[in-house]
Structure 1
Amino acid sequence: MSLIAFVFIFGGTLVGMILRRVLPDHHLRDDSRDVIKLATGLVGTMSALVLGLLVASAKGFYDAQTTEITQISANIVFLDRALALYGTETKEAREVLSNTAEKILDQSWSKNGTRAHRLDTASIGGGVLYDKIQALNPSDELQRSIKSQALSIAVNIGQMCMLMYEQATLVVSKPLLVIMVFWLTVTFVIWGLLAPPNGTVIAVMLASALSASGAILLILEMYSPYEGFIRVADAPLRAALAHLGH
């Protein structure tokens, strides 16, 4: 999509340069240029605003995914420590917790660092973990307190997994992207129309088109935080797995 955007945006410059040669001279007089520049300013401002909003929205989505992974990793470690403190009767629950963490990791990232598929909340064992903790029979006030906290953390882990599952369906608005690319193309057409067709201008327009399409690529990448070259780090979850069972 970003390559298609680049072709349209930079192609707009070439179209503008062709129009410059075809249009009669009086179409590009000073008074006409003033109106054209005003129109360029309007479209360019709208494009910049929408592009900035999309980048900010994508960055917010990416940061939210990073925070959720860190939070769920911390909860997993804390729950394992709480179950260990409860006693040896939580061995099965701790094993289920470890398997749950491994499934979250496997379903979110494949071995080569890209996402294997969407997180499947039905297969990660959150319900089994809750049942194992609920089946515990505390013998004193300390164990009752630990069991209550453990159930609360298990519910929180399940909620976080469900949130990650639902957020995986979110994508950037394609109509909004199309409109923004159209605005950028119009802007570059006008720039090509007003600029003399020389090597320096073409190089500057090429760099500008690459920058604009690069911003679109960043938006699309951050809306897919488990694949591509801008990925949410799996280090917190791997660190949590390394601490489980000790």
Structure 2
Amino acid sequence: MREALLGVAIFVCLAGASLTSLLIHGRFPPHHRQDDTSAIVRLAANLFVVMTSLVLGLMINSAKNTFEAIDHNLHAYATELILLDRSLRQYGPETQAARQPLIAYVQRVVDATSPSQQSPIVANRLSELLLNNVGDQLSVLTPPDDRHADMLRDARQQLQKVIELRWVLAEQSEGAIPGALIALLVAWLTLIFASFGFRAPCNATVVATFVVSAALVAAALYLIMDMDIPFSGPIQISPAPLERALAELKQ
């Protein structure tokens, strides 16, 4: 939701800057509308065009890396959940009390990552308590022999890995693109669009071009910001790995 509002705000800034410049440039004193003045304005705009292109490239690369890193960690997260459940099954029926909160935890995680839910994968206090309950159940087990002691140790290590990946995903889910960089980029784009209206003819074609261009640029920035936070919006990490893990746990 926040990214959508930012996209709308960016569109308003860009379209407003270009249309305002288009409407008021004719009221400037004659010496402000000379060719030399126009050349300087275009030169300054070209400088910001280059800088904007570089920053946009960095933002796209950052959002792409964040998306791929979270997708990789989500697959690893689902795999560790399956391996933990397998270890608990191999230990014996004594771990049934630990498997129940584990299954309930994965179910809540899957529900939280469904398209209808706009919440991060780990932003759920009850889910955290369920996962902690798995550790509590493991702590009360008393292995009857060395073989079961080894399996219990492996299960605890796998649970620790699940907890680590959970918090890694929690940290990554907030995005990596600084807000100040987005604000600076929007300021540059606003100046660029304002330069478009300087000495431009005031007709419907020009106005439509400004509006459509502002909409497309705002949409592109919105998608970049949305990709940087891949648990909400139209570009989301697929919950398929977690759904497969849940199916494995319920077998």
Query: Quick check: TM above 0.5?
Result: yes
Q: Determine whether 1:109 maps to 2:147.
A: no
Contact 2:98 2:134 in 1 (8 A): yes
Q: Secondary structure of 1:244's match?
A: helix
Q: Determine whether 1:51 maps to 2:56.
A: yes
Q: Determine whether 1:20 maps to 2:16.
A: no
Q: What is the correspondence of 1:36-115 to structure 2 with a 5 Å cutoff?
A: 36-106=41-111, 108-109=112-113, 112-115=116-119
Q: 1:185: which partner in 2?
A: 190
Q: CA deviation at 1:112?
A: 2.3
> How far apart, CA to CA, are the structure 2 residues paired with 1:27 and 1:111?
53
Contact 2:11 2:214 in 1 (8 A): yes
Contact 1:12 1:188 in 2 (8 A): yes
> Residue 245 and residue 84 in structure 1: after superposition, are their counterparts in 2 closer, same or farther (change >3 A)?
farther
Kindly report the root-mean-square deviation, in angstroms, between the aligned alpha carbons of the 2 structures. Answer: 2.7
Contact 1:14 1:192 in 2 (8 A): yes
Q: CA deviation at 1:170?
A: 5.1
Contact 2:108 2:127 in 1 (8 A): no
Output the amino acid matched with 2:160.
V
Please list every run of 5 or more consecutive structure 1 residues that lacks an aligned counterpart in the other structure. none
Output the amino acid matched with 1:19.
I
Output the amino acid matched with 2:12.
V
Q: 1:119: which partner in 2?
A: 124
Percent identical pairs in the alignment equals 29
Q: CA deviation at 1:194?
A: 4.0
> How far apart, CA to CA, are the structure 2 residues paired with 1:23 and 1:165?
53
Deviation per residue, 1:10-66 (Å, 9 max, x gap): 111112212332234543444333322210111122222223323332333333332
Give the number of equivalent residue pairs.
245
Contact 1:50 1:180 in 2 (8 A): yes
> How far apart, CA to CA, are the structure 1 residues paired with 2:115 and 2:202?
49
Q: CA deviation at 1:230?
A: 2.2
Output the amino acid matched with 1:222.
M
Q: Secondary structure of 2:198's match?
A: helix
> How far apart, CA to CA, are the structure 2 residues paired with 1:48 and 1:111?
32
TM value normalised by structure 1: 0.85
1:131 aligned residue (110, 117, 136): 136
1:240 aligned residue (215, 232, 245): 245
Output the amino acid matched with 1:42.
L
Q: 2:15: which partner in 1?
A: 10
> How far apart, CA to CA, are the structure 1 residues paired with 2:230 and 2:196?
35
Deviation per residue, 1:177-227 (Å, 9 max, x gap): 222222111111111114333443333322321122112211332344323
TM value normalised by structure 2: 0.83
Q: Secondary structure of 1:136's match?
A: coil
